[in-house]
Amino acid sequence: MKEIFSALNTEGKEVNVSLDDYKGQRIVLYFYPKDNTSGCTQEACDFRDNINRITTKAAVIGVSPDSVKSHIKFKENHDLNFLLISDPEHKLAEKYGVWKEKSMYGRKYMGIERSTFVLDKDGNIEKEWRKVKVKGHVDEVLEYLG
């Protein structure tokens, strides 16, 4: 069994996400900055609304530094139908190079650079999108997945 990562799921349990869990499927692993904000909600709902088209080709996993409690509320508020992973120590974000210095109104801070990765059945990065713009992004992912 090849482990991809270990983190907290929306039930507050530590999970080891492994290739065995996905039986050789590809994985769409997307990183977003914050639950229940306009762009992140739109992106999550776009994945939700297209989940049947995506899951024939890949599993979907969303990751943010928000708490498990926040993820539970986010999933409930928007009927999200895929796994969300809480990464408060940004270990996974750092592993994928999406924990970056950002700037807003002249203030610098560290945060998630909205990014999506398609992992092949061996857990290797097959395709990546950095600095994702939400509008039309799920369509780009679907087009790539074929």
- The number of angstroms, rounded, from the C-alpha of 15 to the middle of its chain's C-alpha atoms is 15
If one counts the domains in the chain, the total is 1
Are 27 and 115 contacting, i.e. CB atoms less than 8 angstroms apart?
no
Residue 3: pLDDT band (50, 70, 90) is: low
- pTM metric for this prediction: 0.88
Range of the domain at 100: 3-145
pLDDT of residue 57: 94
pLDDT of residue 1: 39
pLDDT of residue 104: 84
pLDDT digits (tens, 9 = 90+) for 53-112: 999 999 999 999 998 889 889 999 999 999 888 888 898 899 999 999 998 899 999 999
pLDDT of residue 12: 63
Mean pLDDT of the chain: 89
CATH number at residue 29: 3.40.30.10
Residue 122 has pLDDT above 70, yes or no: yes
Q: Which is higher by pLDDT, 6 or 55? A: 55
Catalytic residues: 40
pLDDT of residue 6: 61
Name the H helices within the chain. Answer: 38-49, 51-54, 68-78, 91-95, 137-145
On the 0-12 / 13-18 / 19+ scale of CB atoms within 10 A, 104 is exposed
